[in-house]
Amino acid sequence: MKLPAITLLLALPVLSGCADDTDATAPIDATVTITATGCRNTLGQGIGTVIDTGLVLTAAHTLTGADEITVAHDEASTTGTIVAYDTEMDLALIAIDADVTTGATIALSTQPPTTDIAVDLTGTAVVTRDERLITVPVTIARRVIIDTEDVYGEGRTTRPGYELVADIKPGDSGALVVVDGEGIAVVWSRSRRTDDRAWAIDPVRGGDTIRDHLANGIDPGIDLERC
| Residues in a beta bridge with 133 | 19, 128
- Average pLDDT value for residue range 142-171: 94
Q: Is the pLDDT of residue 49 over 90?
A: yes
Domain 5-11+106-201 in CATH 2.40.10.10? The answer is yes
Q: Is the pLDDT of residue 23 over 50?
A: no
Nearest CA to 121 out of 185, 193, 173, 174 is that of 185
Residues of the chain with CATH 2.40.10.10: 5-11+106-201, 18-105
What mean pLDDT is reported for the chain?
87
Confidence at residue 131, expressed as pLDDT on a 0 to 100 scale: 86
Using pLDDT thresholds of 50, 70 and 90, give the confidence band for residue 45. confident
pTM exceeds cut of 0.85? yes
Q: Is the pLDDT of residue 71 over 90?
A: yes
- Average pLDDT value for residue range 35-39: 86
Return the minimum-mean-pLDDT range out of 84-98, 99-113, 125-139. Answer: 99-113
Q: What fold does the segment set 18-105 form as a domain?
A: Thrombin, subunit H (2.40.10)
Using pLDDT thresholds of 50, 70 and 90, give the confidence band for residue 42. low
Q: Is the pLDDT of residue 44 over 50?
A: yes
CA distances from 3 to 77, 139, 154, 223 (A): 41, 18, 24, 32
